C-alpha cells in the first residue's frame, strides 16, 4: 500500500507539473511484460492471509516457502531494473515508425536508486528466513487481532517480529509513519529508498521529450516527407 500510494503521488505531481500522461504507459522501459508476473507473485502473501492462518504450514516448511517466495519476487524485480539499466541500441526510425524513446541518464539514475532500495529490502528479507522483521511495537499500535495473532505465532509469509535472532535489524521495518495507509504503519530504510526511487522514476518517465539527432534540434516528422515532385508537375 505504501508503494502504491507513492506511485499515485508521483502520477499526480507529474500531471500537475505538465508531464506526459503517456509516460505512465512505461513506453521508455523494456521487458514490461515481467511486471504483471511480479504483481501476481508479490500478492501471494496477502491472498494467503485473507484465506486464514491456521491451515498453513509452520516451522521449517513455512521458512522454506517464504524464503523461496521472497527470492523469486525480489529477484524478478531486480532483473527487470537491471535489464533497463543496459544501454540498448535504438533502431533507426521513419515518419511512419518513429524511434522508440529509450531511457536516458536521468531515467537510469532513478532506476539505480530504485534498485538500491529493492536490494536493501531483499537483503533484510532473505537474511531473516524470507520474512521482513517488524518492530514489536506494532502489537501495541494495532487493533487488528488477526495481525497480532499471526505475528505472535509466525503464520505470516512476508513478516515477522524483531527478536534476539533477527539479522540486520537496522534494515527492518522500524521507521514509524503514522499516516501510512497500511497495517503495520512501519517501513524499512530500504523501502524508503525504494519509494524515493519510484517517485523519481515516475516523474522522469513523464518528462516531455523530443527525438534528437546528435547535437541538433528535435526531428520533425515533416523532415521525413519525400521531396519528389508530384505527378503531373514538372521540376522547376
| Domain layout of the chain by residue ranges | 2-87+102-209
Give the model's pLDDT for residue 60: 82
pLDDT of residue 119: 96
Residues 186, 205: Cα–Cα separation, whole Å: 28
- Quick one: pLDDT at residue 222? 43
Tens-digit pLDDT profile for residues 36-53: 999 899 888 777 767 665
Per-residue pLDDT, 225: 46
Task: Flag residues of the chain having pLDDT under 70.
Answer: 49, 51-58, 89-100, 154-155, 179-184, 209-236
Amino acid at each position: 500500500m505504501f508503494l502504491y500510494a507513492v506511485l499515485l503521488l508521483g502520477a499526480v505531481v507529474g500531471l500537475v507539473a505538465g508531464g506526459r500522461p503517456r509516460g505512465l504507459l512505461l513506453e521508455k522501459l523494456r521487458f514490461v511484460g515481467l511486471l504483471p508476473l511480479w504483481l501476481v507473485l508479490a500478492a501471494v502473501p496477502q491472498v494467503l492471509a485473507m484465506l486464514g492462518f491456521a491451515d498453513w504450514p509452520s516451522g521449517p516448511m513455512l521458512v522454506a516457502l517464504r524464503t523461496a517466495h521472497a527470492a523469486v519476487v525480489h529477484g524478478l524485480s531486480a532483473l527487470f531494473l537491471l535489464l533497463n539499466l543496459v544501454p540498448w541500441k535504438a533502431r533507426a526510425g521513419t515518419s511512419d515508425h518513429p524511434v522508440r524513446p529509450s531511457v536516458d541518464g536521468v531515467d537510469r539514475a532513478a532506476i539505480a536508486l530504485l534498485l538500491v532500495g529493492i536490494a536493501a529490502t531483499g537483503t533484510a528479507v532473505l537474511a531473516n528466513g524470507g520474512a521482513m522483521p517488524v518492530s514489536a511495537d506494532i502489537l501495541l499500535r494495532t487493533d487488528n487481532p488477526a495481525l497480532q495473532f499471526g505475528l505472535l505465532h509466525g503464520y505470516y509469509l512476508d513478516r515477522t517480529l524483531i527478536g534476539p535472532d533477527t539479522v540486520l535489524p537496522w534494515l527492518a521495518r522500524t521507521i514509524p509513519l503514522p499516516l501510512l495507509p497500511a497495517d503495520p504503519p512501519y517501513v524499512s530504510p530500504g523501502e524508503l529508498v525504494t519509494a524515493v526511487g519510484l517517485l523519481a522514476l515516475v516523474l522522469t518517465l513523464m518528462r516531455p521529450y523530443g527525438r534528437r539527432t546528435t547535437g541538433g534540434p528535435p526531428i520533425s516528422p515533416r523532415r521525413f516527407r519525400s521531396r519528389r515532385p508530384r505527378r503531373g508537375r514538372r521540376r522547376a
